[in-house]
Structure 1
């Protein structure tokens, strides 16, 4: 498939008032990609066309080499971004993290953060630059001007049942990250019962496709595969995951969460050239969790994005009363085990 065809395909998505014939042509092309795939070169061409279908973010010259980000394909209990973004910022890099909402049985980073009273994820490009200058990180939603083709194509993929196509998934994810004008990117590609992809082989194929597409856009990229046959940490649910992320920022979160934050952050710092080895990077990230500098950055980020100073002071305190800060469930059910033992696995897709 010629790259000029892919550029035409993306360019015509800008015309939201297109006729039925154009819609049919787009749907046919999506189905062709779904059935026959794209070569690495074609995937890169599609990614590039989508990236430049709208605005791209621009940074001050003094930030050259310092702008990084992380993307996760999503998993049950995945609150890694809430701890990782401020930990990275505490290490001296800039993190303009564009995140998404919950899909299927996996939660969304924005939904979790918006459980904090006052937190706003809808901010402008100028506001992003100001927050990065003053805080070092922000976690925001995709603006209407960044990769507009992705929103149109995703809606078409949904109705044409072409969502789970590797080149279409890769171009959708990478185009949004490339529009951030990043130096380096780390991808957390998940597989198992708590993720969209159950098979490790499928996750590996997606990771390889995304790394190749991202590198072709000039973004230094590394991917890690994460086993999601168990949820991350002990908490699942928006404000519950915020609480657990804050405990991680205090340096005493669940071991698997802290481990993943360290591994992703350490490899990203190494890829960006900020440390001499990934091990040094991991140790630096964990140091920022232990000395509370990442926690301080998280608090400042939330205030910059609309949360009240007093709310964040209480939320981030050592002995916070979370029952006063978050609305509690009206109904609760306590599950009692008939025997003594340990929970070794939780199947996120179990229907009973």
Structure 2
């Protein structure tokens, strides 16, 4: 196999077979295929695309490039959940404990936030003492004894994806549906679960800006998962405005706790129940999504979901009694009165970054208590002198930039507007 021949074939719109793709990924990881040749191949994929068979082969080769999590010692059907990322997305903090309280084991590997979207690991690490780096023995022990463990991804989980993504990031080859789908799914396959529920976001605060684009990505990932023998469901959910009202690591943990206590924003509760219902169906804990949703509602309202969250946090060293220890400075943002017509949600996420809640590179430090709480969303009326949002920050934050971004994010008018639907589509 000569790499130049594979590049040429793909450039002309031809297809590679599974063995050629596997050898290509292996050679790239071992260093026998140089960056410049892989960059040429990636650009050919951007222009010519890949067949479903090629995409599945690429995903499985990337997954097999490192460790595959062995969950065979975990009792029951293991179901994972993945979100394509958004602003204020704290669903995993509520969903994991709730689904595990329903008897479905949750063995989840998550990542850190990068850019304007937050990461579940950063949110959990904002809880004083919480450990996200677990040995495999600790991870499996927690899943088998309390039903849930959530840890950071190891460097040996799909290392080909990390190497490829670094190259895509500097060669303008990020925006390719097969490459995006294979990047996400390679890590999910390596995590070893039996089924996956995908939460694919659509809107101004998501990577996919349109519902059609999100649907195409979801269908691509569902196809990959089914090809690998996984049970799959995808939910297309809205990200044209933040999810909930809190944006920022510790602020989102507090809001997640409110939802687990039977309070909190309705949209966070609704999306949690819908995603969890499909996790129960795939995990054989419910016959229908409606039955699954009823089971989870009872666990939320009875307080059993919150009890499981507390058990989970204690098992990984966290101390919820200290969640309010950090004292931040704050500032209100006011706008002209009117009705919120639309929101540029990405600007809200960028404002949180300016305050210290996000990072531009994976090595940047973050301020766990920083962020903002919005008070108004699409369709809400803002009165004269009423705050649209409140910023939380410490010394060194670019508060002026954050305030300007929030002002730019809100599009005000006088016409009544209905809020967008939370769920756009289900692909099951």
Is the TM-score greater than 0.5?
Answer: yes
1:323-334 mapped onto 2 (5 Å cutoff):
323=324, 325=325, 327-329=326-328, 331-334=329-332
Q: What is the Cα deviation at residue 103 of structure 1?
A: 2.5
Q: What is the DSSP-based 3-state SS (H/G/I as helix, E as strand, rest coil) of the residue aligned with 1:13?
A: helix
| RMSD of aligned Cα (Å) | 1.8
Give aligned pairs, total. 334
Distance 1:287 1:208 in 2: 32
- State which drifts further: 194-203 or 176-185: 176-185
Q: Quote the residue 1:39 is aligned against.
A: 51
The structure 2 residue matched to 1:22, chosen from 34, 38, 46, is 34
Higher strand share: 2
The structure 1 residue matched to 2:97, chosen from 69, 79, 86, is 86
Residue 10 (str. 1) matches residue 10 (str. 2): no
Call closer, same or farther: CA 1:279–1:127 in 2, change over 3 Å. Answer: same
Q: Quote the residue 1:319 is aligned against.
A: none
- State which drifts further: 164-173 or 70-79: 164-173
Q: What is the DSSP-based 3-state SS (H/G/I as helix, E as strand, rest coil) of the residue aligned with 2:185?
A: helix
For the 8 Å contact 1:220–1:272, the answer to whether it is kept is no
Higher relative contact order (CA 8 A, sep 6+): 1
Distance 1:13 1:299 in 2: 44
Q: What is the Cα deviation at residue 124 of structure 1?
A: 2.5
Call closer, same or farther: CA 1:204–1:113 in 2, change over 3 Å. Answer: same
Q: What is the Cα deviation at residue 29 of structure 1?
A: 1.4
> Alpha-carbon deviations, 1:170-204, whole Å to 9, x = none?
11111111122222210000010111111111111
Distance 1:285 1:202 in 2: 30
For the 8 Å contact 2:71–2:193, the answer to whether it is kept is no
Higher helix share: 1
Q: Quote the residue 1:76 is aligned against.
A: 87
Residue 49 (str. 1) matches residue 61 (str. 2): yes
The structure 2 residue matched to 1:108, chosen from 113, 119, 122, is 119
Q: What is the Cα deviation at residue 132 of structure 1?
A: 0.6
- Find the structure with the greater CA-based Rg: 2
Distance 1:302 1:89 in 2: 13
Q: Quote the residue 1:95 is aligned against.
A: 106
TM-score (norm 1): 0.90
For the 8 Å contact 1:80–1:257, the answer to whether it is kept is yes
1:115-194 mapped onto 2 (5 Å cutoff):
115-194=126-205
Q: What is the Cα deviation at residue 251 of structure 1?
A: 1.4
TM-score (norm 2): 0.74
Call closer, same or farther: CA 1:342–1:127 in 2, change over 3 Å. Answer: farther
Q: What is the Cα deviation at residue 267 of structure 1?
A: 1.2
Residue 306 (str. 1) matches residue 306 (str. 2): no
For the 8 Å contact 2:104–2:283, the answer to whether it is kept is no
Distance 2:212 2:221 in 1: 14
> Alpha-carbon deviations, 1:63-110, whole Å to 9, x = none?
24x211100000101000000011110011111111122232111111
The structure 1 residue matched to 2:242, chosen from 231, 243, 259, is 231
Q: What is the Cα deviation at residue 126 of structure 1?
A: 2.0
Distance 2:284 2:37 in 1: 44
> Alpha-carbon deviations, 1:279-322, whole Å to 9, x = none?
00111112211122221221222222222xxx32x36xxxxxx5
Gaps of 5+ in 2: 1-15, 348-404, 409-428
> Alpha-carbon deviations, 1:35-58, whole Å to 9, x = none?
211111111111111111111112
Q: What is the Cα deviation at residue 260 of structure 1?
A: 0.1
Distance 1:221 1:97 in 2: 16
Distance 1:167 1:60 in 2: 30
Residue 346 (str. 1) matches residue 361 (str. 2): no
> Alpha-carbon deviations, 1:215-240, whole Å to 9, x = none?
11111000010111110111111110
